[in-house]
Structure 1
Amino acid sequence: MSILTIRSVTLRKLRWRTQGRTQDRSGFYPVAWDDGIATQTGYVLELATDAGITGEYTWTTGVNGHAAQQIESVAGWLVGQDAFQRERIWADLHRAWRKYDRLGIGPIDCALWDIAGKAYEASLSQMLGGYRERLPAYASTLFGDDEGAGPLGTPEAFADFARECVDLGYRAVKIHGWNNGDIEREIRNVRGVRTAVGPDIALMLDPSGAYETFGDVLSVGRALDEEQFYWYEDPGKEGGTSAFAYKKLRELIRTPLLQGEHVRGLQAHADQVLAGGTDFMRADAGLDGGVTGVLKIAHLAEALGIDVELHGPSPVHRHIMSALRNSNFYEMGLVAPSLRQISFGGFADYSDDLAEVDANGTVGIPRGHGLATPLDQEWIAAHQIDELVFD
């Protein structure tokens, strides 16, 4: 099968409601809330070929809100392209969108890899080479509410939930604290969670840019040193993009830094790590150019002798991590006592669920061809609010 021509591009827009979370007062950030109901928006991209093979990829706008508009702008160009030429399509779009954030590349590339796997009757994990069958996972919490009334409203509540996660089998937990940057409360949380889970559990902290000053970032970092945290992620309001600031922080604390979630593309990731701005690298198939883009970042990290950690849960990330040596944990999040099943509802037989881990704290990888996650077409039809077709 030398050529597989794309004959149509379909983009479906979906809307659904999720229980157990709500938005904070700003409306920007999700927080755990027992009776909360959050409205979510997402998309399904379908690339149909002349051989009857269709590549599919889904995402939510909470992570990648602008990809659909970019895909719409090149859908006509995609029709007629050879679906096997992933690298050329990636490179052409990388140039075409050089003035933009290139978020549209990720969904397109993932759908192309789905086509390839279905054509060759192999899973994405197998096509990437395969390295392991089980993935160590960490429980990654939702934010706490600033009022302190929700299921993660206090340091004590975080400690209780972390202990529950360990009882389920997790050997690692990541904390997203509060969005108001109360540093004393953040430090109490760091110490309380460590006391609750003991010394043998890997703990991470991701303030998601909540801390106002470098002094705040440093104060919490020193507490992390004392409590022997595994990594410290994107603490400052500059967004985790200043290599200078985090090189300086690395000189002042011992806890390794994980930066790069808000840095787009291979070259920017390379510049950040070579400037000394991080210890671990971060990559995301939705944000960093799909499977192809993540592999470029992962191989860069491997060449430098460091690790790459994949941002957020998804079947694509399970496949990619299963083929990487230099990656430590799969992110199971964002979870809370009020929200345990967190994946997109349109999969027929796949989910990310807090209780999924085994006694060793690991999760499996999807089985089948391509992304190996058939869609629940009935659920999708029930939640579809718009559709665009280009042929």
Structure 2
Amino acid sequence: MGREQYNMKITRIEVIPLVRKLNQTFEGGTYRIVNRNTLVTRIYTDEGLVGEVFGGDEDIVQEKIVGLIQDHFEPMLIGEDPRNIELLWNKMFFDGGKIDLGNRSIHVLDLLNRGILMQAISAIDMALWDLLGKIYNTPLYQLLGGYRKKVPVIAIGGYYQAGKGRSQLTDEMQHYKELGMTGVKFKVGRVTVAEDIKRVQAAREAAGDDFVIVCDANQGWTPDQAIQFCQEAVSLDLEWIEEPVRWYDQLEGLRMVKDSSPIPVTAGQGEISGFGCRDLVLNGCVDNLNVDVTIAGGVTEWKRTANMASLSHVQMAHHEEPQVALHLLAAVPNSLYVEIFPNYERDPMWIDLPIETYRIKDGFMELPNKPGLGMELNKDIIEKYRAI
């Protein structure tokens, strides 16, 4: 009897929070990173197949995400057929939205709790899709549509550090080229516009004209400052400017920048659902969306968002998380670059947690031919850094 002829059942959901202190601090336009936390999620079935994924980088509310999964979503989904992913997603989103997380019916103040909900949904949904690939013995990217077998890869770098000048930036760009990166996502927004222009100029001179540079301000500027940067940086051939305006001006401010900038605008990593991404697209705020699968509802919601974006000629990038993002970007025609932290000190989990990371060659990250995500995780690393 084939698997399609009977019900498979979820028997257990396991979520393991990992906490790891970084050896050094990394500063972007508006933030400092001192930890590399993540969640490992496993979904077990009565057939013995297990979906497994790691994802997320949550410092503040990691325990609440774990609690929501353990106390509410596991009991909700036990006994369900894991192949009915749309049904399960809707149960978590609509029934989960009724769970009392201390909401006050003041929607902006309640967004923290909504973010906890969406990250919990994301963790389970990603594990379900890995499981689905294993059930049908198919890589995830092909299960989702299978548009390409490799995706260009860029490094995340250009961080602000004490004593880091032109010479260090030159060495950093050369290092990325030696690693086979197609380009770099370069941090801006912490110093003056004039200083940032000089920093990016140094990176361009070091990397050469054939190297992709995108700039990420992490919501550091007013619209006027963002427009000034884009106009003064036009000769530097930047691929896009990411998250240019401050948190309170994400619609009108982004639209102003997009309308005045000679450089394409990317945003969306701060959205927690496809609805927020829809608003960015319909209000003419973005050329590219970089919504994060680990934050905004998992694979199911990301694919919906990508399809919606394509109808408005908006391209899809992705915020970090290459272990899942690679498959998503390979599954749709309107995709750009997958991004990684080549610096071990910035993301040791990307190197240590997988038994084997995805292959990079000639500026591209190649898709694995194994079922699901095609990534086995190191149980010793999980045990070493598990918080509970």
Which TM-score applies when normalising by structure 2?
A: 0.85
Deviation at 1:375, TM superposition (A): 1.9
3-state SS, counterpart of residue 103 of structure 1: helix
Mapped partners of 1:342, 1:177: distance in 2: 25
Mapped partners of 2:387, 2:234: distance in 1: 48
Query: In structure 2, what residue type is equivalent to 1:346?
Result: L
User: How do residues 47-126 of structure 1 correspond to structure 2 at under 5 angstroms?
Assistant: 47-62=43-58, 65=62, 67-72=65-70, 73-98=72-97, 100-101=114-115, 102-126=118-142
3-state SS, counterpart of residue 380 of structure 1: helix
The percentage of counterpart residues that share the same residue type is: 21
Deviation at 1:16, TM superposition (A): 3.2
- Decide whether the 8 Å contact of 2:27 with 2:159 is kept in 1: no
Mapped partners of 2:269, 2:29: distance in 1: 22
Question: Is residue 203 of structure 1 aligned with residue 213 of structure 2?
Answer: yes
- Decide whether the 8 Å contact of 2:41 with 2:52 is kept in 1: yes
User: How do residues 1-391 of structure 1 correspond to structure 2 at under 5 angstroms?
Assistant: 1=3, 2-19=6-23, 21-22=24-25, 28-30=31-33, 38-62=34-58, 65=62, 67-72=65-70, 73-98=72-97, 100-101=114-115, 102-141=118-157, 143-145=159-161, 148-149=162-163, 153-177=164-188, 180-211=190-221, 213-238=222-247, 242-333=250-341, 335-336=342-343, 343=350, 345-350=352-357, 357-358=360-361, 360-386=362-388
Mapped partners of 1:121, 1:234: distance in 2: 38
- Decide whether the 8 Å contact of 2:266 with 2:289 is kept in 1: yes
3-state SS, counterpart of residue 173 of structure 1: strand
- Cα distance change on mapping 1:204 and 1:337 into 2, 3 Å: same
Uncovered stretches (5+) of structure 2, i.e. residues with no partner: 98-109
Aligned length: 364
3-state SS, counterpart of residue 58 of structure 1: strand
Match of 2:101 in 1: none
Query: In structure 2, what residue type is equivalent to 1:264?
Result: I
Mapped partners of 1:205, 1:23: distance in 2: 16
Uncovered stretches (5+) of structure 1, i.e. residues with no partner: 31-37, 387-391
- Decide whether the 8 Å contact of 1:243 with 1:278 is kept in 2: no
3-state SS, counterpart of residue 236 of structure 1: coil
- Decide whether the 8 Å contact of 2:56 with 2:321 is kept in 1: no
- Cα distance change on mapping 1:361 and 1:4 into 2, 3 Å: same
- Decide whether the 8 Å contact of 1:161 with 1:337 is kept in 2: no
Structure with the largest fraction of helix: 2
Mapped partners of 1:339, 1:14: distance in 2: 15
- Decide whether the 8 Å contact of 2:144 with 2:331 is kept in 1: yes
**Partner deviation per Cα, 1:221-275 (whole Å, 9 max, x = no partner):** 2122232211000122226x62211111122221000011112211221111111
3-state SS, counterpart of residue 104 of structure 1: helix
3-state SS, counterpart of residue 74 of structure 1: helix
Query: In structure 1, what residue type is equivalent to 2:292?
Result: D
Match of 1:33 in 2: none
- Decide whether the 8 Å contact of 1:234 with 1:258 is kept in 2: yes
- Decide whether the 8 Å contact of 2:245 with 2:254 is kept in 1: no
- Decide whether the 8 Å contact of 2:39 with 2:54 is kept in 1: yes
3-state SS, counterpart of residue 283 of structure 1: coil
- Cα distance change on mapping 1:385 and 1:266 into 2, 3 Å: closer
- Decide whether the 8 Å contact of 1:144 with 1:176 is kept in 2: yes
Which TM-score applies when normalising by structure 1?
A: 0.85
Mapped partners of 1:162, 1:126: distance in 2: 33
- Cα distance change on mapping 1:320 and 1:16 into 2, 3 Å: same
Query: In structure 2, what residue type is equivalent to 1:95?
Result: F
3-state SS, counterpart of residue 233 of structure 2: helix
Mapped partners of 1:9, 1:78: distance in 2: 8
- Decide whether the 8 Å contact of 1:117 with 1:123 is kept in 2: yes
3-state SS, counterpart of residue 170 of structure 1: coil
Mapped partners of 1:304, 1:89: distance in 2: 28
Query: In structure 1, what residue type is equivalent to 2:196?
Result: E
- Decide whether the 8 Å contact of 1:135 with 1:322 is kept in 2: yes
